[in-house]
């Protein structure tokens, strides 16, 4: 069965610190991989996607993610977090079937 695990429910980081959000997936083949961000009461915005090719992908707002096939992981990183990055982050996987989402990681940013 296809599944996505985001092990961290809630992470708190200081402004300016680095960030890594974890995502592990279970899928029959190498799927398309996505990270989305959601502000309270809003829809989801795409941060970045991996379809094929270079395993390090760059996204919007200074985020990047690395696909590691051997670990079935697609972790999201940012070198220096800004207060405006506080939000909920979702990892998703799929091919041409409906995407499967993780349960999300809520990011809090402190001064």
Partner 1 sequence: DGGITQSPKYLFRKEGQNVTLSCEQNLNHDAMYWYRQDPGQGLRLIYYSQIVNDFQKGDIAEGYSVSREKKESFPLTVTSAQKNPTAFYLCATRTEASPLHFGNGTRLTVT
Residues that bind partner 1 (CB under 8 A): 9, 32, 34, 36, 41-46, 49, 51, 90, 92, 96, 98-99, 101-104
Q: How far is the CB of 15 from partner 1 (least distance, A)?
A: 25
DSSP per position, 2-61: -EEE---SEEEEETTS-EEE--EEE-SS--EEEEEEE-TTS-EEEEEEE-SS-SEEE-GG
Q: How far is the CB of 90 from partner 1 (least distance, A)?
A: 7
> Which residue, 15 or 49, has its beta carbon nearer to partner 1?
49
> Which residue, 29 or 111, has its beta carbon nearer to partner 1?
29
> Which residue, 15 or 30, has its beta carbon nearer to partner 1?
30
Q: How far is the CB of 57 from partner 1 (least distance, A)?
A: 12
Instruction: List Cα–Cα distances, 67 to 17, 20, 34, 70, 76, in angstroms.
Output: 22, 13, 10, 9, 9
Q: Return the ∠ at Cα 77 (arms to 57 and 18), rounded to 5°.
A: 145
Q: How far is the CB of 39 from partner 1 (least distance, A)?
A: 10
Cα 102 to the chain's mean position, in Å?
A: 9
> Which residue, 70 or 97, has its beta carbon nearer to partner 1?
97
């Amino acid at each position: 069965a296809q599944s996505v695990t985001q092990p961290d429910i809630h992470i708190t980081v200081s402004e300016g610190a680095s960030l890594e959000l974890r995502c592990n997936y279970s899928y029959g083949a190498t799927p398309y991989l996505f990270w989305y961000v959601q502000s309270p009461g809003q829809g989801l915005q795409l941060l970045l996607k991996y379809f094929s090719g270079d395993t390090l992908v760059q996204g919007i707002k200074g985020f990047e993610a690395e696909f590691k096939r051997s670990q079935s992981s697609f972790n999201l990183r940012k070198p220096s977090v800004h207060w405006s990055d506080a939000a909920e982050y979702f990892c998703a996987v799929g091919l041409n079937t409906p995407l499967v989402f993780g349960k999300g990681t809520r990011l809090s940013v402190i001064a």
